[in-house]
Amino acid sequence: METKHDSLEMIGLGHVGMYAKNPASLAEFYRDVMGMQIVGGSDASHPIGATAFLSSRPLEEHHEIALFSNAKNAHRAFKVGSLAALKRFHQKIVRRGIPIKFQFNHGNAFAFYFDDPEGNMIEVYWRTGLEYPQPFAQATDLTKTEEELLEELKVLTGQKDSTCDFVRGVRTPPNQALPPTACGANRRF
C-alpha 106/C-alpha 39 separation (Å) is 15
Cβ–Cβ < 8 Å for 30, 65: yes
Residue 83 DSSP label: H
Whether the full predicted model's pTM is greater than 0.75, yes or no, is no
Report, as an integer, the average pLDDT of 171-179. 31
Confidence (pLDDT) at 28: 96
Residues 91-116 pLDDT 10s: 999 999 999 999 999 999 999 999 99
Residue 173 has pLDDT above 70, yes or no: no
Rounded to whole angstroms, the Cα distance separating 24 from 135 reads 14
DSSP letters spanning 43-68 = -TTSTT-SEEEEES-TTT-S-SEEEE
